[in-house]
A = this chain, B = another copy of it.
């Protein structure tokens, strides 16, 4: 299939769907290769970004069209769509904890925040930013929460790895939570944990010969 035709098809699909469409669905139903798909997306993005009225959003291997935020005021003046309010500090804090530590229970979030978080959880759920993703296998089987596609879209993230300082933050949290695991080391900010596979040469023989 010609790339221009594929672009037209994807544009039409995203326009009709309104909602996020999985890239995988488009590829499998139309028998499109990864390479073709990527090429088409790049082309569509070029035409639907910056000053264009319609923007392409890519997140979690899904595609969606949205209006250009720069023209939100004018669009609102004509069509009066429902406008979301910005989140409160408390909600953002809670959302950050859930985003970086998901899946997580409400109790675990409350332990970090030192404050009851029932209200902020309900606000975030109502906005479709978090959802129940399972139950923790402990007494009472508390619900585990995670963030949604709506969260990624609202914060202009293409995936969770896109969260600000994702790796670095997770590492620092791990050090704070489990200091005993890190006591032997002196950390610098840019210190990186060695891969598990890496065993110092001088230890290799010892480990291999020791009874397991």
Contact = CB atoms under 8 A, between A and B. Distances in A.
Interface string A53-90: 11000000000010110111011011101000000000
Given A15-B15, A65-B15, A67-B16, A9 B53 contact: yes
A173 interface: no
A80 to B, nearest CB: 10
Interface in A15-34: 15-18, 21, 25-26, 29-30
A32 B71 CA distance: 15
B78 A8 contact: no
A123 interface: no
A56 to B, nearest CB: 12
Contacts of A65: 15
A8 B51 contact: yes
Contact of A71 (B5, B29, B54): B5
Contacts of A53: 7-13, 15
Copies of the polypeptide in the assembly: 2
Contacts of A159: none
A28 to B, nearest CB: 9
Given A5-B51, A53-B7, A53-B9, A25 B78 contact: yes
Majority DSSP secondary structure for residues of A touching B: helix
A52 interface: yes
29 contacts: A4-B51, A5-B71, A7-B53, A8-B51, A8-B52, A8-B70, A9-B53, A9-B75, A11-B53, A12-B54, A12-B68, A12-B71, A12-B74, A12-B75, A13-B74, A13-B75, A15-B15, A15-B54, A15-B65, A15-B67, A16-B67, A16-B75, A16-B79, A17-B79, A18-B18, A26-B78, A29-B77, A29-B78, A30-B74
Interface of A: 4-5, 7-13, 15-18, 21, 25-26, 29-30, 51-54, 65, 67-68, 70-72, 74-75, 77-79, 81
